[in-house]
Structure 1
Amino acid sequence: MSRSIDDQYLNRYFKGLTIVQLFLGYVFLISGLLVNLIQFLSACFIWPFNRALYRKINYHLATIIWSQLTFVYQWWSNSDIVVYIKPDDLEKLCQENSLWLGNHRYEVDWLLGWVVTQRLGLAGGSKILGKQSLRALPIIGWCWYFTESIFLRRVWSTDKSVLERDIQQLVQDYPKNYNFTLFLSCEGTRYTEEKRLESMKIAREKGLPELQHHILPRTKGFVLIIKGLHKHITAVYDMTVAFQTPKQPELSNLLIGHQCQAEAFIRRIPIAEVPYDDEKKAAEFIHKLFQEKDKTFDYFVQHGTFDGAGNPKAVNLKRKKQDLIIELACLLLIGLPSIYLSIKFLLFASIFTQIIFFIIGIAGIVGIRLMIKTASRPKLPLNSTKEE
């Protein structure tokens, strides 16, 4: 028993070392920028002539970047997620374009969406609806941009036309057998009790049932999205995630190897059951969905699991080795040659140059962490609550 504890301590100590963090961050930075460069070249020379080919190429390029992030969750920290979904729904999910509606309660719940799509083989086609500033982020934001995620300014008068244009562009000439998943958080911001109470004032004014675990959903963006996508997707997926341990996971803990245990409750809603041509009915649909989502999350709060909430556990949705293989390939192709060159450089460099080298390296780690934390902030601010 004591030996096991010692091994865990040494494992976390190793993963928390600055030099180890520096090495992983460096590999992610170089591989990510190389992928971004190829994406840029494909946008210049392939997109104007063959959009289907461009999307196929970027599907696989995006997988390289997203897999390095899911690697951190699934392999580096040895964290897991148990998914509760009906077998028929799971089978359909792997074969269709879809809109995913999630809750936004945790710092790393965005990462769980990637983990699930990675296990399904759909990570390359994942897209978000995000605030415009995110597309300026190197690597992650640029990858979102090149894979046709949609970015908004939070000003509905201009966002409406952007949504209409980008949705129409997304569905034109999309290649067969390459499915996309568009992530949408109708809450628009990460949950806090203060934000929930503020939004419930509006719920009472509108005569809507109060939510105990969610912020009142914003409906305008959903209404416009479903109107543009209803002919091109076959279902909407309601995904509710929760963490068993720790209760409030942080990205910094994952990076130093702390394990997390999460669960997701996913239900499929056929597109035929989603109103798209009546704004009032579409808004009522999303409010009803969040009332049901609130009950589902309350079940988790009461029982500590989604087991028994209505869906069976997906026994075949285990972690796959794809992201591990991609990470190892990046470490071998970029990391090892860089170690050799760095050692050679440091042996012959002056002390002043060595100090500058380490300062730049540490700054790189801080920069990458800030970049990922920024990407994990509220992605889907469709419009202010007042505009609803």
Structure 2
Amino acid sequence: MTAFLNRARGGLFAVLLFLTSFLGAIFILVPFFPFIFIRPTIWRHCADKLVGYWLTFPAALCEFLFGIKFHITGDPIVFAEPALIIMNHRTRLDWLFFWNALYKIDPWLLTTEKISLKASLKLIPGAGWAMGCDSFMFLHRNWEMDKRNIEKMIAYYKDIGQNYQLLLFPEGTDRGTRSVDISRSFAEKNNLPFYDYLLHPRTTGFTFLLKHMRQKNYAMNIYDVTVGYPDEIVANEVDLISTGVTPRNVHFDIRKVAISEVPEDDDGAAKWLSKLWSDKEGILRKFYSKPPADRAFTPSGIGAKWPVETTGWGRYAAFAFWILTTTMWAVFIYQFFAVKVYTIACIALYIGIHRRYGGVELPVKMGEPDDGPPPTVLDRVRGLTFTVVLFMSSLLGTIYILIPLFPLVVLSPKWWRKIVDRLIGFWLTLPPSLISFLFGAKFRVTGDPVLSNEPALIIMNHRTRLDWLFFWNALYKIDPLLLTTEKISLKAILRLIPGAGWAMGANSFLFLDRLWEKDEKRLEDMIDYYANVGAQYQILLFPEGTDKCHRATARCRAFAEKKGLQQYEYIMHPKTTGFVYLLQKMRKVNYIKYVYDVTVAFPDRMVQSETDIMLKGACPKTVHFDIRRLDVDRLPESDEGLAKWLIALWKDKEDILREYYEKPLEERQLQPSGEGIVWPIEDSVGERAGLLFAFSFWLLTTLMWIWFLWTVGGMRWYFILSCCVYALLYRVYGGVEWFAVSEWKRANPIHPTCAEDHKKI
């Protein structure tokens, strides 16, 4: 009978915890989700208090349902001060029982304690979601990933303005049979003493966490907690639920250590922790050497002893609240179809957040700025003006300026290339003028100048889909001629855009399909064309392959997790194949002298895509570019070496951007690379005059062409015929650029024609 009652208690405990956490996460937490983005501080305040109040419920169940007695001695934990709590990890239930200790000391501690847990626990419906909302620190047991998570979460705790006490188990796992065997093997291998009551602590995570908390000035004390079970040890939650057996008594002793007493260097801190664990082994040996009835810790610190019997009505109120509200929510779900739909939608929302962000705890804080305030009517007018001017000028320019030059493709491919480069380069001055005059954006450019008379490869992190657009402003600031010599690697679909796509094709941009069997041929033929047509180009490549949107970031996170790679917060892992092939091909034809490493950052506003700037009129106030020029001869010669070089470069870029975005807005600046040049953020009189001239020219000529289209019938037929020509060139050759490449190869028979290849591609 006793065994049956115990199992019933265990089952009831599991059901109550699941239902209250599951329905609470849906009906209490989800309605506050908008504050994650609108007012993160309000979200943090509400989530802490709500989840903290739920934590009172399992604490109440431990006492009401199982009758567990908690013996707390030592120093009180102060909830108003950030701190690190370290505890031996005897069972997988230590953190559950510790909530009772915190409640006894000060119930507010349930709203400020954060726990370091296995990442898999956040997948538990209900409880896992709630712990994510409460911004617990989830670790993957992959050091590169965990290091980033630790940095990110401590920065979040600090920046959000809350004082938390972070519970860490330095042993890394509970003292199960397998863990004991591993710890003993480790001790034997490293000539360390065998522990009977502990596992040897893992010092790497502890020292890194402590060091980072010190750097952020986010820890005043360390609380050394020792947990002991005098009568019954229940190893895990499965045993508790299946048997209903729990310890009758749990002892916690707490000792406060000022952080100044712990050595600041990693080696010293590691030795301090090892010494602490050795002392803790002695404390536990003394504890367990006594008869069960006499087992108790000698109080540490100020020697406080909290009453074993918990007083006050708080537990009863929490117990009643969660039972009644859970019952009410269950009835609503059963009776109302709309509530069923809402529940399913919330479940999908939690799953979607995990897939996109990695968990509820992760999107609540990014060092990067958000996408800015909602657009005003004036913003939308600006966006519409920007769109119309660019579209009409590019469309009519490709028809009335480029089409008449098409005979040069056949008669003189080199003259075609020279003239078109300059004409389109002149049009490329229009977008910078609009961004400057219409939106008032400023550009801070630092580092090394890009040389327009030397062939080069430019590589840049791809934060938004507008990076290449904003980079034209940077190039104009460095040297306006760069707008005539820069070529960009873009998605192939962009060349289908009437006007702008046709112009980019005529300008021989590199359009890629993201299918290597097709792109390899395109890269080879286009580099041959560049190298032999008599021009010196700088090719812009985004090694990440796509912009860092939410979807791409989620894919990158999944890839990094699968491969055991470092999780990046501000960049994505680069794709080395295309970069290596392109660089080696440029080397092969002697068409590269420098590689320019460009870092782009947005200090105040993140405008992710062209639809944001066109439809909403959204534009960052400031964009920062830092450029570092590298001699290609100093790069590795082998493919493998280049791939490793790029990966290392991107890792450094992540560190640069992390340092950048962790600064206050007004202090965000990229440190100048190379020559350390800092171009004036304000346009000079000459620069503004050039932008104004380009703006006036393209606006007036576009208006003139529109008037001709409206008034002259022959111009309309010419317009239609020209559109058909572009469509035909795409159909026959694969685009204007491949028409030019084909004719150049025809004029230079040593190069076999590839027009048919690209038609098929």
Band the TM-score falls in, shorter-chain normalisation: 0.7 to 0.9
Residue 41 of structure 1, CA deviation: 3.8
Aligned to 2:62: 73
Structure 1 position 244 matched with structure 2 position 206? no
Q: Distance in 2 between matches of 1:161 and 1:98?
A: 20
Q: Distance in 2 between matches of 1:30 and 1:306?
A: 36
Rate the CA distance shift 1:300–1:39 in 2: closer, same or farther, 3 A: same
Rate the CA distance shift 1:225–1:213 in 2: closer, same or farther, 3 A: same
Rate the CA distance shift 1:29–1:274 in 2: closer, same or farther, 3 A: same
Matched-pair contact (CA < 8 Å) for 2:254–2:300: no
Q: Which amino acid aligns with 1:104?
A: H
Q: Distance in 2 between matches of 1:211 and 1:250?
A: 21
Matched-pair contact (CA < 8 Å) for 1:78–1:259: no
Q: Distance in 1 between matches of 2:59 and 2:52?
A: 10
Alignment counterpart, residue 113 of structure 1, candidates 82, 98, 111: 98
Q: Which amino acid aligns with 1:292?
A: D
Residue 310 of structure 1, CA deviation: 5.1
Matched-pair contact (CA < 8 Å) for 1:84–1:306: no
Aligned to 1:61: 50
Residue 51 of structure 1, CA deviation: 2.7
Aligned to 2:139: 152
Matched-pair contact (CA < 8 Å) for 2:115–2:167: yes
Aligned to 2:221: 235
Q: Distance in 2 between matches of 1:158 and 1:341?
A: 39
Rate the CA distance shift 1:281–1:341 in 2: closer, same or farther, 3 A: closer
- Identity, % of aligned pairs? 20
SS of the residue aligned with 2:37? coil
CA offsets, 1:65-104, max 9 Å, x none? 312211221221111110120xxx31x5344222111111
CA offsets, 1:19-53, max 9 Å, x none? x956x65554443234313333433x112233322
CA offsets, 1:247-304, max 9 Å, x none? 446655578586611111211111111234x211121111111111111111111124
Structure 1 position 219 matched with structure 2 position 210? no
Aligned to 1:301: 288
Aligned to 2:86: 101
Structure 1 position 326 matched with structure 2 position 318? yes
Q: Which amino acid aligns with 2:248?
A: C
SS of the residue aligned with 2:289? helix
Matched-pair contact (CA < 8 Å) for 2:253–2:300: no
Q: Which amino acid aligns with 2:82?
A: N
Aligned to 1:48: 37
Alignment counterpart, residue 133 of structure 1, candidates 99, 120, 137: 120
Aligned to 1:315: 306
Q: Distance in 2 between matches of 1:341 and 1:144?
A: 24
Matched-pair contact (CA < 8 Å) for 2:84–2:167: yes
Residue 218 of structure 1, CA deviation: 0.6
Q: Which runs of 4+ in 1 moved over 6 A?
A: 12-15, 339-342
Alignment counterpart, residue 31 of structure 1, candidates 20, 30, 48: 20
Matched-pair contact (CA < 8 Å) for 1:100–1:183: yes
Q: Which amino acid aligns with 1:234?
A: M
Rate the CA distance shift 1:55–1:26 in 2: closer, same or farther, 3 A: same
Rate the CA distance shift 1:250–1:135 in 2: closer, same or farther, 3 A: closer
SS of the residue aligned with 1:46? helix
Aligned to 2:537: none
Alignment counterpart, residue 189 of structure 1, candidates 173, 178, 200: 173
Unaligned 5+ residue runs, structure 1? 1-8, 345-388
Matched-pair contact (CA < 8 Å) for 1:299–1:309: no
Structure 1 position 285 matched with structure 2 position 272? yes
Q: Distance in 2 between matches of 1:259 and 1:237?
A: 24
Aligned to 1:265: 253
TM (norm. structure 1) is: 0.73
1:327-366 aligned within 5 A: 327-335=319-327
Rate the CA distance shift 1:142–1:94 in 2: closer, same or farther, 3 A: same
CA offsets, 1:341-366, max 9 Å, x none? 99x9xxxxxxxxxxxxxxxxxxxxxx
Q: Distance in 2 between matches of 1:129 and 1:181?
A: 11
CA offsets, 1:294-341, max 9 Å, x none? 111111111242344656451357524323311112223443786899
Rate the CA distance shift 1:341–1:17 in 2: closer, same or farther, 3 A: farther
Rate the CA distance shift 1:248–1:158 in 2: closer, same or farther, 3 A: closer
Matched-pair contact (CA < 8 Å) for 1:40–1:146: no
Residue 157 of structure 1, CA deviation: 2.3
Residue 105 of structure 1, CA deviation: 1.4
Matched-pair contact (CA < 8 Å) for 1:307–1:313: no
Q: Distance in 1 between matches of 2:308 and 2:155?
A: 33
Residue 115 of structure 1, CA deviation: 1.2
Deviating more after overlay: 284-293 vs 256-265: 256-265
Matched-pair contact (CA < 8 Å) for 2:73–2:304: yes
